Amino acid sequence: MERKTLFRGWLLPAALVAPQLLITFVFFFWPAGQALVESTQATDAFGLSTMFVGASNFLALLTDPDYHAAILRTAFFCVAVTILAMAAGLLFASFANRAIKGRFLYRTALIWPYAIAPALSSVIFVFLFQPQIGMITNLLARFGVNFNYTANGSQALALVILIAAWKQVSYNFIFYLAALQSVPRSMLEAATLDGARGLHRFRTMIWPMLMPTTLFLSVTNIVYAAFDTFDVIFALTGGGPGTSTDMLVVKVYRDGVINLDLGGSAAQSVLLMAGIIALTALQMRLTRGRAT
Amino acid sequence: MATLELQGLAKSFGNTKVLHGLDVKLDDGEMLVIVGGSGCGKSTLLRLVAGLESPTAGRILLDGKDITHVDPSKRDVAMVFQNYALYPHMSVFENMAYGLKLKGMPKAEIAKRVEEAADTLSLSALLGRKPGQLSGGQRQRVAMGRAIVREPKLFLFDEPLSNLDAKLRVQVRADIRKLQKRLNVTSLYVTHDQVEAMTLADRLAVMEQGVAAQIATPLEVFARPADQFVAGFIGDPSMNFCKAVLCAGGHGAKLAAGPEVALPGEASWGPEGMAVMLGIRPQHVVIEPGTGPLGFAVALEEPLGSEALLHGTLPDGEAFRIRVPYPAPQATALTISLPAAHLHLFDAQTGKRLEIA
The model's pLDDT over B207-222, given as tens digits with 9 standing for 90+, comes to 988 889 999 999 999 9
Burial group, residue B184, by CB count within 10 angstroms (0-12, 13-18, 19+):
exposed
- Name the nearest CA neighbour of B147 among B180, B172, B173: B180
B317 found inside a domain: yes
Q: Check pLDDT > 50 for residue A274.
A: yes
Asked if residue B257 has pLDDT above 90, the reply is no
- Check CB contact under 8 Å for A187 and B88: yes
B60 in a structural domain: yes
Same domain for B220 and B245, yes or no, is no
Q: What is the pLDDT of residue B249?
A: 85
Say if B354 falls within a structural domain. no
User: Are residues B257 and B316 in contact, defined by beta-carbon separation less than 8 angstroms?
Assistant: yes
Q: Locate the chain B residue with the closest alpha carbon to A212.
A: B89
Distance from CA of B74 to the nearest CA of A (A): 6
Nearest chain A Cα distance for residue B100, angstroms? 8
Same domain as B253, residue B143: no
- Given a cut of 70, whether residue B1 has pLDDT beyond it is no
Our CA-based measurement puts residue B123 at a distance from the nearest CA of chain A, in whole angstroms, of: 20
Question: Both B192 and B245 in a single domain?
Answer: no
Going A236 to A241 to A242 to A243, the CA torsion angle's sign is negative
Average pLDDT rounded to a whole number, residues A209-217: 91
- Other CB atoms within 10 A of residue B259 CB: 16
What integer pLDDT is reported at residue A2 of this predicted model?
Answer: 57
- Please tell me whether residues B132 and B193 are part of one structural domain: yes
Is the minimum CB–CB distance between A99 and chain B shorter than 8 Å? no
Give yes or no for residue A292 having a pLDDT over 60.
Answer: no
- Mean pLDDT score of chain B: 90
Q: How far apart are CA B85 and CA A209, in angstroms?
A: 14
- Cβ within 8 Å, pair B98-A209: no
Check whether A138 has a pLDDT greater than 70.
Answer: yes
At position A94, the amino acid (one-letter code) is S
Rounded to an integer, what distance in angstroms lies between the CA atom of residue A137 and that of residue A146?
8
* Interface touch B89/A200, C-beta < 8 Å: no
Question: Across the interface, which of B73, B83, B85 has its CB nearest the CB of A195?
Answer: B73
Whole domain around residue B218: which residue ranges?
4-233
Is residue B4 predicted with pLDDT exceeding 80? Answer: yes
Report d(CA A213, CA B83) in Å as an integer.
24
- Work out the average pLDDT over B317-343: 89
Examine the predicted complex and report whether its ipTM is higher than 0.85: no
For position B285, what pLDDT does the model report?
Answer: 93
Q: Is A193 on the interface with B (CB under 8 A)?
A: yes
* Three-state DSSP state, A241: coil
Residue B357 pLDDT exceeds 80: no
Asked if residue A101 has pLDDT above 80, the reply is no
The nearest CA of chain B is from the CA of A183 a distance in Å of 10
| pLDDT band at A208; cut points 50, 70, 90 | very high
Phi first, then psi: what are they for B274, rounded to 5°? -70, 135
Task: Please state the rounded mean pLDDT for residues B169-189.
Answer: 90
pLDDT > 60? residue B268: yes
Query: How many domains is chain B partitioned into structurally?
Result: 2
Other CB atoms within a 10 A radius of the CB of residue B144 amount to 26
pLDDT digit string, tens, across residues A161-177: 999 999 899 999 999 99
Question: What was the pLDDT predicted at A291?
Answer: 45
Average pLDDT in the A36-54 region? Answer: 80
From the list A184, A204, A209, the residue facing B85 with the nearest CB is: A184
A187 and B86 in contact by Cβ < 8 A?
Answer: yes
Q: Is A182 an 8 Å CB contact of chain B? A: no
**Whether residue B96 is found in the same domain as residue B185:** yes
**Is A238 a residue whose pLDDT tops 90?**
no
User: B173 and B305: one domain?
Assistant: no
Q: Is the pLDDT reported for residue A3 higher than 70?
A: no
> Domain check: are B180 and B205 in the same one?
yes
Asked if residue B317 lies in contact with residue B194, where contact means CB atoms within 8 angstroms, the answer is: no
How sure is the predictor about A20, in pLDDT bands with cuts at 50, 70 and 90? Answer: very high
- DSSP state letter for B238: P
- The verdict on a CB contact (< 8 Å) between B77 and A209 is no
Rounded CA-CA distance A223/B156 in Å is 49
Does residue B352 lie within any of the structural domains? Answer: no
Specify whether the CB–CB gap between A184 and A173 falls below 8 A.
Answer: no
Please list the helix, strand and coil fractions of chain B in percent, rounded to the nearest 5, in that order: 30, 35, 40
Total beta-carbon pairs less than 8 A apart between chain A and chain B: 61
Residues B179 and B248 in one domain: no
Tell me the per-residue pLDDT of B309-324, one tens digit each, with 9 for 90 and over: 999 999 988 999 999 9
Count CB neighbours of B356 within 10 A: 13
Are residue B227 and residue B293 in the same domain, yes or no?
no
Task: Look at A190 and B89 and tell me if their CB atoms are within 8 Å.
Answer: no
B221 with B258, same domain? no
Please state the pTM of the whole predicted model.
0.78
The answer on B256 and B199 residing in a single domain is no
> Mind telling me how many Å the CA of B124 is from chain A's nearest CA?
21
What is the number of other CB atoms lying within 10 angstroms of the CB of residue A155? Answer: 18
Architecture per CATH, domain A74-261+275-291, reads as Orthogonal Bundle (1.10)
Indicate if the pLDDT at residue A47 is higher than 80: no
Instruction: Test A197 with B73 for CB contact under 8 angstroms.
Output: yes
Of B204, B233, B262, the position where a domain reaches its end is B233
DSSP state of B352: B
| pLDDT value, residue A198 | 83
Q: What are the residue boundaries of the structural domains of chain A, listed by start? A: 74-261+275-291
Q: Are residues B194 and B211 in the same domain?
A: yes
A199 contacts in B (CB within 8 Å)?
Answer: none
Domain boundary among B214, B233, B252: B233
B129 within some domain:
yes
Q: How far is CA A292 from the centre of its chain?
A: 27
Q: Which residues face B260 on adjacent strands? A: B254
Looking at residue A165, its pLDDT comes to: 93
Is the pLDDT at A179 greater than 60? The verdict is: yes
Per-residue confidence (pLDDT) for residue B37, from 0 to 100: 85
What's the whole-number mean pLDDT along residues B280-298?
A: 90
* A205 inside 8 A of chain B by CB: yes
